[in-house]
Amino acid sequence: MQTQGVAGFITESGGQLSHTAILARSLGIPAIVGVHSARRLLRDGDMVLMDGSAGLVDADPHEKTIALYRKRQRVQKRATRELEKLRDAPAETTCGTAINLFANIENDDDIKALRRANALGVGLYRTEFLYMNRDDIPAEEEHFQVYSKIIRSLKGAPFTIRTVDLGADKQTAHTEKGPQERNPALGLRGIRRCLKEPALFEPQLRAILRAAARGPVNILLPMLTNVDEVVQTRALLNQVREALIAEGKKVGEDIKLGGMIEVPATAIAADQFAKELDFLSIGTNDLIQYTLAIDRIDDYVNYLYDPLHPAVLRLIKMTIDAGRKRRVPVSMCGEMAGDERFIRLLLGLGLRDFSMPSNSLLAAKKVILGTKLRDLRKLSDSFIEETNRERRDAILQKINAELAPED
């Protein structure tokens, strides 16, 4: 769709946090999902107005409506131009606290957008897209060439590669050949699949270790639930490293190993994972799904998807606190990290490293530049503890209104 010039798309099923919707946001393609009966109500040749922010589809819109939205487009473009002026401004609060802003990428083309926003590097590279739209598994050399190209483009900036997270809503020809799972979201995905299928995992690890000889690389493991998975991965990494050295291949020396915190059990045991890992990265998309027991791509229940649920926020804070205690960096790479409504709340909880789609970075920086940290911690703690909806709304409004005073 990105290469074919598609203006936007509508689906009859799915949720706002499905991988399809996440990718559409990253690519800047307007998308509205879960529009029941769209194919029955929309006809070929219809003029359709899409408002992705409001989730509005207007078929055969009135001329006045079109004029209104043309005006909104102009306002949006002006706002984007204003944000571009912040490109070279340091991402720090009014009290001088530096906040680290990284980009999530899906392919090497995203590096251009990362540069336009002046991100510090790549906080999350989703490697699943190397496996999609094909019948075979990418070979080691293909991985190596792709990673090397990105490393060259980054010119020394950090590059965090998430090992392949196949399964659930990221199906490929490879996963479809396996047994059909009754509940894919709770099935063989992420690190579980990788450790179970060394033929899938080892070529990627070999390529990462080789590419790391050309620039700074971190490895991020998805869907961790057990510390033993970290121990097994480290053992496999050592085996792969020894094999590459024996073959006379150059490998990276200082590669940090991190883990995704996206399962409640992992967040609760974050202090134990912090002992075994070099950094932690909170994946809010799945963390919210598993904490609230809802399928984020099921449009019948995704109205229950709530990033601000007290249980979700407690798990996030628990992870941040565990990292601080163990002196292990904690970042957030889920969609919540790039949502302007939540950035100050997360800062109040102690988060200092954010990774998000490149097109969200400058808006996030604007929020950070206007943020005074002094009172945020107390307000954020109060928000987690408050149960009354009206009082919670009032606290959140106060958090987001806590702008730096003008001198």
Q: Which residues are catalytic?
A: 19, 333
> To 10 degrees, the CA torsion angle through 111, 151, 106, 295?
-130
Cα–Cα distance for residue pair 351/343, rounded to 1 Å = 9
> To 10 degrees, the CA torsion angle through 294, 297, 301, 307?
60
Cα–Cα distance for residue pair 111/146, rounded to 1 Å = 12
Residues in the chain: 407
Angle between helices 110-117 and 358-369 (to 10 degrees): 20
The residues pairing with 58 across neighbouring beta strands, listed in sequence order, are: 49
Task: Output DSSP code: residue 185.
Answer: G
> To 10 degrees, the CA torsion angle through 127, 234, 167, 170?
-10
DSSP track, 345-370:
HHHHTT--EEEEEHHHHHHHHHHHHT
Are the CB atoms for 361 and 119 separated by under 8 Å? yes
> To 10 degrees, the CA torsion angle through 384, 385, 388, 391?
-70
Cα–Cα distance for residue pair 61/29, rounded to 1 Å = 20
Q: For 257, phi and psi rounded to 5 degrees?
A: -110, 120
Dmax of the chain from CA atoms? 71
Q: For 167, phi and psi rounded to 5 degrees?
A: 120, 180
Can you list the alpha helix ranges (DSSP code H) found in 247-375?
264-268, 270-276, 284-292, 310-326, 343-348, 358-369
Burial of 155 (0-12, 13-18, 19+ CB in 10 A): exposed
